[in-house]
Amino acid sequence: MSIVALTGGVGGAKLALGLQRVLAPDALVLVVNTGDDFVHLGLHVSPDIDTVVYTLTGLVNVETGWGRADETWTFMQALAGLGGETWFRLGDGDLAMHVERTRRLAAGESLSAVTAHLARRLGLGVKILPMSDDPVRTRIVTADGELDFQNYFVERRCVPVVTALGYAGADTARPAPGVLEALRAPGLEAVVICPSNPWLSIDPILAVPALRVALHDCAAPVIAVSPLVGGQAVKGPTAKIMAELGMPVYAAAVARHYEGLLDGFVLDERDAGDAAQIGVPVCIADTLMRDLADRERLARTTLEFAGTLAGGRGAP
Ligand code: FO1
């Protein structure tokens, strides 16, 4: 079995971990959002890539969902003492990732090569690909003006009212090496859109033109797992952004957002009433991932659902 999963950070990484645990290592390719990447304190930070790598290697801080467990903060404390910028917190161990990534990028390596190296060094078995090696930056247009992603998300704590989103650089960005190959692989059995924020985490991936076309054309069924549980986001500003963009806050609006790409939608059982308004086959499941068993169960359910749709796109 060969599966491609599109994911952002914390929410998506939970399902990515479930998929990793139920699939053979060479059967899973993760395509990760890089729209949140930015240069901070002179370092190239790739938050979603690191969140996925830490989650899948068991290094993640399970309380925050990002950063490392058992982290120390000597660097941040020293930086605060010097009057430096402390709104975005880089732990001592995490800092090593950004320093080594930045050094390798400056030496001419691509982001995908650096990612593969760092993931391998941390013991990750599955293939993790940035969506693109070209810079794409998510920009949030708010009632307070236009903000870079991390200034909106972390510094302003998602408080400003969102009026529009943009993905600077996406128009000319090419999928990273391996992405199109994975989507066109003859043995591909499903593409899973993880329950990440559609606007902040998945849309930057879909904004890479050749990637979107490949997704549209791919022979395997494309399935999205709803990021809403009981009409609410488990964590993060998905529901808030939907409301601010003038959308009804329910799962059917998420399915509609992915219209034209989807062959199936995994809907949380608390939102079962929305099923009739989703224009593709629906699988109703408990999508709340509290523990490891939940992650594995949702991964299995999603893959079984994909199996029932496999004929729909002409896959073998
Ligand atoms: N999120 C926060 O809310 N506050 C932080 O200080 C913070 C630091 C941080 C450092 C490294 C990293 O990889 C992620 C970090 N995040 C932090 C999470 C990150 O901003 C978001 O999870 C994603 O960008 C959204 O998916």
Report if residue 314 sits inside a domain.
Answer: no
pLDDT above 80 (res 312)? no
The tokens describing 98, both together, are 């950004």
CA separation for the pair 222, 172 (Å, rounded):
24
Report if residue 295 sits inside a domain.
Answer: yes
Residue nearest to atom 3 of ligand 1 (CA): 154
Domain count, the chain: 1
Report if residue 162 sits inside a domain.
Answer: no
Q: pLDDT, tens digit, for every residue of 147-177?
A: 999 999 999 999 999 999 999 999 999 999 9
Domain of 88: which CATH number?
3.40.50.10680
Residue 57 CA to ligand 1 center (angstroms) comes to 18
Those residues with Cβ within 8 angstroms of residue 50's Cβ, 6 or more apart along the chain or in another chain: 66, 94, 97
Report if residue 189 sits inside a domain.
Answer: yes
**Nearest partner of 33 among 205, 153, 152, judged by Cα:** 205
Report if residue 147 sits inside a domain.
Answer: no
Q: pLDDT, tens digit, for every residue of 51-106?
A: 999 999 999 999 999 999 999 999 999 999 999 999 999 999 999 999 999 999 99
Q: Which residue has the higher pLDDT, 235 or 108?
A: 108
Q: Please say whether the beta carbons of 267 and 274 come within 8 A.
A: yes
Q: pLDDT, tens digit, for every residue of 222-249?
A: 999 999 999 999 888 999 999 999 999 9
Q: pLDDT, tens digit, for every residue of 178-218?
A: 999 999 999 999 999 999 999 999 999 999 999 999 999 99
Report if residue 238 sits inside a domain.
Answer: yes
pLDDT above 80 (res 313)? no
CA separation for the pair 227, 102 (Å, rounded):
32
Q: How confident is the model at residue 315 (pLDDT cuts 50, 70, 90)?
A: very low
Write down the pLDDT at residue 228.
Answer: 96
Residue nearest to atom 9 of ligand 1 (CA): 89
pLDDT above 80 (res 133)? yes
Name the pairing type of β-strands 43-45 and 38-40: antiparallel
Taking the CA of residue 36 as reference, the ligand 1 atom at the shortest distance is 24
Residue nearest to atom 26 of ligand 1 (CA): 9
Taking the CA of residue 48 as reference, the ligand 1 atom at the shortest distance is 26
Taking the CA of residue 8 as reference, the ligand 1 atom at the shortest distance is 26
Q: Please say whether the beta carbons of 10 and 65 come within 8 A.
A: yes
Those residues with Cβ within 8 angstroms of residue 300's Cβ, 6 or more apart along the chain or in another chain: 18, 22
**Nearest partner of 169 among 137, 129, 215, 209, judged by Cα:** 137
Q: Please say whether the beta carbons of 30 and 16 come within 8 A.
A: yes
Report if residue 37 sits inside a domain.
Answer: yes
Q: pLDDT, tens digit, for every residue of 6-37?
A: 999 899 999 999 999 999 999 999 999 999 99
Please state, in angstroms and as integers, the Cα–Cα distance from residue 78 to each residue in 40, 67, 69, 82, 91, following that order: 16, 19, 20, 6, 12
Q: How confident is the model at residue 311 (pLDDT cuts 50, 70, 90)?
A: low
Taking the CA of residue 47 as reference, the ligand 1 atom at the shortest distance is 13
Q: What is the best residue among 88, 147, 194, 205 to mutate for testing ligand 1's pocket, by most ligand atoms within 8 Å of CB? A: 88
Residue nearest to atom 12 of ligand 1 (CA): 47
**Nearest partner of 148 among 37, 290, 69, 255, judged by Cα:** 37
When pLDDT is averaged across residues 297-315 and rounded to a whole number, the result is 85
Q: What's the mean pLDDT when you consider all of the chain?
A: 96
Name the pairing type of β-strands 188-193 and 228-229: unpaired
Residue 274 CA to ligand 1 center (angstroms) comes to 32
Q: Which residues constitute the domain of residue 9?
A: 2-141+167-307
Q: Which residues line ligand 1 (CB under 6 A)?
A: 8-10, 36, 45, 47-48, 50-51, 66-67, 88-90, 94, 150, 153-154, 201
**Nearest partner of 149 among 10, 36, 43, judged by Cα:** 36
Taking the CA of residue 201 as reference, the ligand 1 atom at the shortest distance is 26
| Location of structure tokens 């467990």 | 69
When pLDDT is averaged across residues 101-130 and rounded to a whole number, the result is 98
Q: What is the best residue among 154, 235, 238 to mutate for testing ligand 1's pocket, by most ligand atoms within 8 Å of CB? A: 154
Per DSSP, 153 falls in state I
Q: How confident is the model at residue 310 (pLDDT cuts 50, 70, 90)?
A: confident
Per DSSP, 155 falls in state I
Report if residue 160 sits inside a domain.
Answer: no
Query: SS in 3 state form for 169-208?
Result: CHHHCCECCCHHHHHHCCCEEEEEECCCCHHHHHHHHHCC
